[in-house]
Structure 1
Amino acid sequence: MLTVQQNYKVGIYVRLSKDDERAGESVSIENQKLMLTKYCEEQGWNDYFTYCDDGVSGTTFDRPGVSRLIEDAKDGKINLILVKDLSRFGRNYIQVGQFTDYLFPMIGCRFIALNDGVDTINSDNDIMPFRNLFNEFQSKDTSKKIKAVKQAHAKLGNYLGCYVPYGYRASPDDKHKFIIDEAVAENVRKLFRYRRQGLGFRKIAGLLNAEHILPPRDYYYLTKGVEDKGRRNHCWNEVTVKKMLRNEVYIGHMVQNKRGTMSYKNKKQIDKPKDEWIKVEHTHEPIIDMDTWNACVELDQRQCKMRSVKGTSEPSLFGGLLRCMECGFKMRYTEENHTYPKKGHVKYISYMCGSYARSGKSACSAHIIYLRPLSELVLDDIRHRAKRVLEDEDRVRRELLEQKAKQNDRQTKADRITLKATEKRLAELERLTQALYEDKVLGTVPEAVFKNLLTKYEAERMEKQSLVQSLKQKLADTAQDERDIEQYLANIRKYVAVEQLDREMLLELINYIEIGERGEKDGQKYRDVVIHYNLVDKAG
């Protein structure tokens, strides 16, 4: 038990968060110091030290000032902690209680919250847990209000970020709106053109560096007229390229709320699930057209690594699109050079099973297919499909919709039932957790039971949230089917009279092609080749 003494070594603790700044002088750092030092002098406590955290939230105890304060109390350098009120010390009522009820009495350190009338030298501090709880709820409420204001702005399509995306600049009429920065917009278009041609992120970065184009951060500092003091290599890199290629801002849409803090207590930034993103379409003029965007998205979703033609940096015509029908490995690009007496030098291009090329017959057979017959087969199939669409588009649409419906109908119903039940359980867990905290404050639940139930509820909550996110994504994919079919019909009909394949056409139309081994049946040689088209044959 603590006893009254005169030779106190006082640790004065003051804190101001960014939210407190709106309250004015009453909670300022200097005002807190003045009040607390005056109180020390009135009590005859002349041996005092000041600990300060400026601009830090009270919901976390990961603060340099409070950390030093607690360490000094443990080391005996101070034996009395003085704060203006409990909320200055902290707004997490569980952690505040751990210090004031357990740690400080154990190490013989007195704690005074002046304006709240709290002094651990007295035994009548029953009101303190309720003040702590009120402070935490107040912090939670403030956090909710700030978040609500930001989300309201985001839903209006107002940009809330610090840096305007490369290719745009803030409108002189409204800093939350964008206008195209023509000085660098062509660099953005060039980046997307390179990707549509099938080039990888690293290759695109290399080409932009070779052209001596300033990367986004360097361009930003140049336009601001200030020096970038960060230690960097001032080059484009694959991470920057990838982020830009996936940013819908370039098609005129504003997507925000993609990241946030774990909670009002934990300020660590985390990626939010896609269903929590706030997307407002057509908020500004696009730099990239939708055809280019969709082509890049399809290529990105495939996540394939293209084989380049020997002696060039260009990917081969079918690079990354061919798979062995037996083992599933990507097909490998090969060249054979032959010299004939009459024909002279002839180069044959073919593709073989990647597993066979690496490990031989023990892994798979060769599945060799030459470029010319493969190109003819694929070209014929594209023209045939395009002709069918032009002749009877409604029939083709019905066939594709029926095919999709058979795949999705039963599963969609089951997913909706599961989603409803899971969301109901999440709401129950929220109520149970709230009730558990209230019982803890009232002292009607033992500490061990409280911790055990809290851990159990939190584990189940995380599991259910993950399931909800997954189910919502599946249902969104189902709703996308009709739009995918319409896009497929629009894409394929353009090629009814095409005479030669090119890589852009293949990337736009085809997801992947399965190559079977050559065989013979009834004296006839054959080979199975299955073409899986984008938008209507996504599996695999």
Structure 2
Amino acid sequence: MQESNTKLLHVAVYIRVSSDEQAERGDSIRDQRERGVKYINDHKNMILQDVYLDDGVSGQKIDRDDFTRLITNVKDGHIDLIIFTKLDRWFRSLRHYLNTQAVLEKYNAAWTAIDQPYFDTSTPYGRAFVAQSMTWAELEAQNGGVRVSDVFRSKVAHGEVITGKVPRGYKIQDKKMVLSEEAPAIHDCIKHFLKHHSMNQTVLYMKDKYGIVMTLQNFRQTLLKNEKLIGRYRGNENYCPRLISDEEFQEIQRILGHNSNIKSNQKYPYIFSGLLVCNECGYKMGGGQINVLSKRKNGNSIRYKYPAYECKQYRAYKECDNGGEIREVRIEEYLLKNVREQFNSYISDFETNSKSIINNRAKKNQIRKKINRLKDLYLNEAITIKEFKTDRMKFEAQLAELPDIIEPNQDFKALRNILGTDFEGMYLQLDNEQKRLFWRSIIKEIRVSKSKDRHREYTVVFI
């Protein structure tokens, strides 16, 4: 590019690194940026317009975030020259190159590959040479996918990571996955899921106890269904340290499959589904139909079906002595008769034994440490800039939402309003779905103790 004393050129630095090339050659974002800026500083007639970065994007794709922004600024007349290290940073598709080149020529913008100065688009011969080179670059990109797959297989076989994203509870150290400081918390949360069989409850437990925020989908896919937690990945049985046992992982898959079947096949809307907890073992109690054979006066028999609940650990494994079904109607009768008294007792206990002040300063310091670790991962190119920005924004949002001190403040106004009405009379007019919504609006869980002299004891925990 010839220097000119009559015009100051506004120069854009374009950087592209695909995840494939990072794995294959370790191309550096930082290196491309530094060399581009140095090129501009070495030319007196150039000034940096902006740096455009597309990270983890193939050169065969034209739909790139910063590339789109770059072309928009070209059309707006803000850019005279675009520089990048090599032609394959710009494109690996001949069709995309030719279409883009037409736009650049229309708006009087040029480009230079600083490591390949023999490319010259100002002459017909130069443009033909570039087009021919693009043909070979496109072929190279297509063949590169095969080579990268081989590289990935080799890395996995040697226990090395092939991406900067690892499950919660792990971190990257010397290119391998190792357990992180968060591992005990993740292990505890998985134990919580194994005990309660509820993803919703576990995600809330995770957030309340450890400040770890995950969506249900993320919790299910990146933890509960992730074989890396038992040290296995892509056929390597010893890929990384295990966080849980094989038996625990198999039990999780069984629970997930069982929960899925219940969701799709359940026809009867059980009123207390998800609310009943066995007070002996701590597991959820499941709903089902019980058959009762009744004889009539005329000697004929008739079979009745009743919705009922039973401890899952007793039914499936005989590991709990809280056996025997509880008819749904009996639970309804108990609540309608006793819920007011239990509510008043609950308020009295809360006010007498008020919860202590919660100090979140240590938790916030842990989040700040995570942000610093993110920076180290990005500088070491273990994660992409998109992953860095996404995770940093998530942690900063957690910091902004988390007060240093939380004082106990439970508002019982909504509960008082409900229980201050004649809800018993209205309740009888509701269908099962409406009844379920009603109880869920005021009750967090109902703890069921084992039968004593054929009588159950219920402890209601209010929201």
User: Do both share a fold (TM > 0.5)?
Assistant: no
TM-score, structure 1 as length reference: 0.39
TM-score, structure 2 as length reference: 0.44
